[in-house]
Structure formats: structure tokens, C-alpha cells
Amino acid sequence: MKRKLQSLLLIFLITGTFAEGVKAQNLNISFLLDLSDRIDPKKNPGIYQRDLQYIKSVQKAFVNQIKGKKILLLKDQMQVFFNPLPNIPNIDQLSEQLKVEFNPKTSKNDFLNIDRVYNQNPAKIYQSAIKDHNYVGSDIWRFFKSNVQLYCIKPAHRNILVILTDGYMYHKTSIMQVGGKSSYITADYLSTKKLVTANYQKIMKQNNLGFIAFPYNLKELEILVLGINPSVKNPYEEDVIKQYWGDWFKAMRVKKFELLTNDLPSALEPVITNFINGKP
């Protein structure tokens, strides 16, 4: 009887370890794109091109990861989200094509197709928004409130959400304050709160400042924020923005997060790759 129990325990440990290994290998990567006027070439030259390169860096890291897996273990996916949906021709079709899934039946053409789709479709989306000057904004706060758990977390996967934004959070349909907490921050808002000096952390603590968080346990979600672009008028703006985001993620128990300032894609690519690969 003792030997039987030992054998059962050994099988449990082996299968359990194997399951954890497979779980760690299965990637579920989601993009949340901020198509507000931050991508306007006249307002912020070069920003949208950098966004496209950041997307490409994530896509390359994703493909390299799944190419290193055995075919029978393929169970990976990647998709793109917006909130609200941009008023762009064929946005449904473009978004659907950006949702890619890999499984044991995946062919070589599927691997080739992901390169083509992720080269063409994001550029079409950004260029359409810029051409029409139809910047519907980005409601990141409401996406977390209503969609992040439903859209971005898949069981038995390593779930990664990549957010492309300048770090400010504002949408006309989501302007709320509860005590010192708010659903938004802008450069002017931070200035009115006197978060312009080295003692910004003390001010935030005293006034209970931060984003309104939700009672979620996002322990199965990792978040990579790319493109933070603070105002140069306030030397502490970057620190304050990162404090807001970091406190917000911690309040929602996000498993792991990285907040990266807008920089050359060549400089950030190794950092992005390491994050997708799960390296410290």
C-alpha cells in the first residue's frame, strides 16, 4: 500500500510539473492601443512610427518563442484591442486578422502570414486614424473596469498585456473622482495637484492620490506599458506618471509589470524581448 501511494505521489509530481511547464510556455499576448491625438504627427512627430516598431518587436519575440516549442505543445495566441473602437474603414476585418492562434495544426504559411499581417495591418490602422484626424481617444481605465479580465486572461497561459500609450489617461466618458483617486490624469491635472517637485510621493500619500482601482486579483496577468511620454515642463512628470500606474497595478495585484518611457525602438527591443521571454 505504501509503495502504491509513493507511486501515485510520484506520478502527481511529474504530471503536475509538466502541466506547469506547459502553462509557462503557452503565450496569450494582448495589445491595447491608444489611438488618441498623441499619435498626431504634427503634435508628436515620430510617435506612431515608434508604436509600429514596438508592436513589431513584441511580435518577433512572440514568434521566436513559439518557434522554439514542439509542434504538439503549440497553444499560443495574440490579439489587438481598442477602447473605444476607432471609426476606421474595415476595422473589424483588420482586427480579426491581427488575432492569430497557433496550435499543432499550424502550417508554415501561418508563420509567414503573421509577419505580413503585423507589418501591414497596424500601419493601416494608425495611418487611417491620422489621415481622417478622427482621434476617438482611448479609455484605458474603462477597459480595465470592463474588459481586461474577460479579454486578456486565459487559463493555462502566460498572459501578457502590452499597452501603447503616453502614460496620461483621459477620456470624456470616464471622468470620475472618488476622494483623491481619479479615473484620469493629464499634465494640467498633475500640475493642479502640485506634483511638480521632488516630494511628489509625500503629496500623493497625504492626499491619497492615484487611479481609481478595481477589486480585481490580476495575479495571472503581466503588463508591459510602452511609450510613456511625459511633459518636459515638469522634471518629475515621468516619475509621477509611473507612480500612478505602478500603484494602480499593485492595487489590482498584477503579477508583474514594466513601465517604459518613449525611446528609440532599437534601444527598447532587447527590453521588450526579455519581458516576453520571461527574463528578469
Q: Against a cut of 0.85, is the pTM above it? A: yes
Query: How far apart, in whole angstroms, are the C-alpha atoms of residue 36 and residue 138?
Result: 6
Cα 200 to Cα 34, 187, 243, distances in angstroms: 26, 14, 9
Query: How far apart, in whole angstroms, are the C-alpha atoms of residue 113 and residue 122?
Result: 14
Q: Are 88 and 134 in contact (CB under 8 A)?
A: yes
pLDDT given for residue 107 in this prediction: 82
Determine the topology of domain 2-276 in CATH.
Answer: Rossmann fold (3.40.50)
Cα 230 to Cα 99, 106, 265, 270, distances in angstroms: 31, 42, 17, 22
User: Tens digits of per-residue pLDDT, 115-153?
Assistant: 999 999 999 999 999 987 878 889 999 999 999 999 999
Q: What is the dihedral of CA 150, 246, 251, 271, to 10 degrees?
A: 50
Rounded to a whole number of angstroms, the CA Rg of the chain reads 21
Query: How far apart, in whole angstroms, are the C-alpha atoms of residue 72 and residue 66?
Result: 11
Q: Are 163 and 140 in contact (CB under 8 A)?
A: yes
pLDDT given for residue 80 in this prediction: 97
Query: How far apart, in whole angstroms, are the C-alpha atoms of residue 137 and residue 186?
Result: 13
Low-confidence ranges of the chain (pLDDT < 70): 1-24
Q: Which residues neighbour 115 within 8 Å (Cβ) at sequence distance 6 or greater?
A: 59, 63
Query: How far apart, in whole angstroms, are the C-alpha atoms of residue 24 and residue 276?
Result: 11
Query: How far apart, in whole angstroms, are the C-alpha atoms of residue 188 and residue 238?
Result: 14
Query: How far apart, in whole angstroms, are the C-alpha atoms of residue 61 and residue 56?
Result: 9
Domain residue spans of the chain: 2-276
Q: Which residues neighbour 118 within 8 Å (Cβ) at sequence distance 6 or greater?
A: 55, 56, 59, 98
Query: How far apart, in whole angstroms, are the C-alpha atoms of residue 100 and residue 96?
Result: 8
Assign 3-class secondary structure to 243-276: HHHHHHHHHCCCCEEEEEECCCHHHHHHHHHHHH
Q: Are 235 and 197 in contact (CB under 8 A)?
A: no
Alpha carbon 10 to its chain centroid, in Å, reads 39
Q: Are 224 and 162 in contact (CB under 8 A)?
A: yes
Scan for cell 500619500, then name that residue: 205
